[in-house]
Chain A
Amino acid sequence: DTGVSQDPRHKITKRGQNVTFRCDPISEHNRLYWYRQTLGQGPEFLTYFQNEAQLEKSRLLSDRFSAERPKGSFSTLEIQRTEQGDSAMYLCASSPGGGSNSPLHFGNGTRLTVT
């Protein structure tokens, strides 16, 4: 079963450091999404890609955040100069596209702890 894969599963970093997360979507899914989830809350949309094009970014995505999806395959999410408020679960999801009715398939996330 080649589901959505995320790496690393856990990341502990010190405030001010840069971190990068990777997501490998389900093959042939052309849409890829990043969400952030804090304890006791539902996931919040950050950004999404249609193939290699980044089509939308949430206001939650400050200038310290950048996401890429080179060649429309895997994606990376980088956070520069991390802050304690960045501590959360970062979830990646993919879908085959075809409109907003396609369910998103999520990976198991990267849990970031900023100390």
Chain B
Amino acid sequence: EDQVTQSPEALRLQEGESSSLNCSYTVSGLRGLFWYRQDPGKGPEFLFTLYSAGEEKEKERLKATLTKKESFLHITAPKPEDSATYLCAVPRYNQGGKLIFGQGTELSVKP
């Protein structure tokens, strides 16, 4: 069965302390992997799409990478404003925009 698992569930960092979030997936015929950021009480905000193993995307302090089994979201020198829940999702094979989401990693960055 198609599945997406994120770890850790929660991560507390000090400002400037770099770390990585993990997204492991099992899906038939990967057609992209999406990363979203979600602030409390808001909808998910699109960050990146990765299409193939070895691909990397960057945005400010965030860098997303993809292998055949997992994706990492690296956060370099985080700031308190990076605090949010980070979600990854993959499309179910040949089923349009039906995304399978992980449960998210809640990131807290303290000054």
Q: Which residues of A are interface residues toward B (Cβ below 8 A)?
A: 4, 6, 31, 33, 40-45, 48, 50, 55-56, 91, 93, 95, 99-109, 111
Contact = CB atoms under 8 A, between A and B. Distances in A.
B18 to A, nearest CB: 25
Contacts of B98: 45, 48, 56
Contact of B45 (A43, A48, A106): A106
B24 interface: no
Contacts of A103: 34, 46, 49
A107 B31 CA distance: 23
Interface in B4-52: 4, 31-32, 34, 36, 41-46, 49, 51
Given A101-B31, A101-B49, A103-B34, 8 more contacts: A31-B97, A41-B103, A42-B102, A44-B101, A99-B31, A100-B32, A106-B36, A109-B43
Interface of B: 4, 31-32, 34, 36, 41-46, 49, 51, 87, 89, 91, 94-104
